[in-house]
Every structure is written in structure tokens, then in C-alpha cells.
Amino acid sequence: MTSKKILLLAGWLTWSTARVTVAAEDPSREVAAGKSLAEDLRAMRPTESFTNQASLRLRDADGNTRRLPLTIINRVGDGPSWEVIYAAGGTAPEMLSMVRTPDHPPQYRITQGAQDGVATPDSARSFAGSDFSLRELGLEFLHWPGQRVLPRTPPPMKKGQPCKILESTNPGATNYTRVVSWISIEHNGLMLADAYDASGRIVKRFSIGSLKKVDGVWQLRDMEMIDEVRGTETKLEFELKARE
């Protein structure tokens, strides 16, 4: 997997057949490890500006699908912040500008067609009618007040990667208040995340998809978000290119 694609995930599968046991609990160590891991993930940023071409494949609850072209632009400056722009659609695309900062939740601005961009505090709104909300693209749960690493021995496997399990909680959040995510120990990439409401029901599920080796380098082909309540699904599919 290239570093650029990994940063798109941290800039979002099955358990290993090995026996997994819960290690002895130490709440203070779990919280300290969780805060440290969330801080490391928030600090991950591209080292240079780049553009990815992709598409969104949307499936509604009746099984109907449609596809939107998508351009993802990462703009990197000298400071710790950087800008990510998502442009979805054809002649009048919906554009999301997201400024990401390690110490603060992202700032969002939405533009529709030729209209002026409008700042939005409603990060729970959908982007381009997809199952990805603004706050999910911005990985806002990494800024939530509750962060802890759940102890597991040996580490669980996702997509052939040993992972840490990060639990993020925020009782005041809307739609869901708890996110459990699997983070690759090797490259700190987000492999899977389950979002739970206050009753403990999974309401949304994110996972990376398949990988393909291009010129000897593993590249991420797709990632998906499933809305378990509405019964809808959105897959973000990247164009894979050979190295120059």
C-alpha cells in the first residue's frame, strides 16, 4: 500500500483463527495508550501535495446503484495543517474543502456548482448523497474526549495485518457515540471501524477493501461505508496507476 493511500485512511477482515484472549485490564494504561495512538493518527499528514482520481459507487436500500466521479486533492503547506478537497460529480460537482489540524477537529466548507463555498458546522451531513458524512471523512472520532486501547493477546488480524483496537467515545455525539477501530501496527493505517449508538447497536461500518500490487507496490483499490440502519452502501474506488 502506498503511503499516500494510507494517509487517506488515517488521510478509514475477519478475526484471526488464532485464539484471542483479553489481557489483564489496566484502565489508566489503556487510556494513556489510547490518547497517544489517537494523537499519532491525528498528526499523520502527507509529505507533499498530490491528487487522486477515484469514484463513488452508491447503492440504495433497494439495490439500485449509481456512480459519481471523484477527485481528491491534498494540499500541503509548511505548517502542521493541510487541506483535503473532495470534488464529486460532473458538470456541477459538490465540493468539500476540509482543513485538517492535529489539535482541532476539521473545518469544512461545502460548494455546489458555481455557488460560493459555505462553511458548515453540521459535520454529520452526508457528502454528495453518499454514506460518508463530513465527520467520517475528517476522522472526527480521533478528536473525541474518550480514547483507549483495548488489550488483546495476540493482536487481532485484519487483512493480514496485526492490529491495535482503539475505542473512541463521546456521549454528546449525534447518531453514534462509540467507535471501535482496528489500526495496523505496521503502518498505523485504519483497517476497519464500527460505529455504535447509545444502545450498543452497530449503525455504520467502515472497512478498507481489496489491495492490488502495481509495479511491486501494494495499492489500496477501494474502501466502503455501510449504513446498517438505512441498508445502504457507498464504495470509494481509486484509480490505480503505475509508478512514474
More confident: 228 or 22: 228
pLDDT at 243: 45
Q: Across the chain, what does the average pLDDT equal?
A: 84
Buried b (16+ CB within 10 A) or exposed e, 200-223: eeebbbbbbeebeeeeeeebbbbb
Class of residue 153 by CB neighbours under 10 A (exposed 0-12, middle 13-18, buried 19+)? exposed
Tell me the pTM. Answer: 0.83
pLDDT tens per residue, range 117-138: 667 768 999 999 999 999 999 9
More confident: 68 or 217: 68
State the CATH class of domain 3-238. mainly beta
Q: How far is CA 3 from each of CA 6, 79, 161, rounded to the nearest angstrom? A: 5, 20, 16
Q: Where are the domains of the chain?
A: 3-238
Place 213 in a pLDDT band, splitting at 50, 70 and 90: low
Rounded Cα distance, 130 and 193, in Å = 17
More confident: 3 or 98: 98
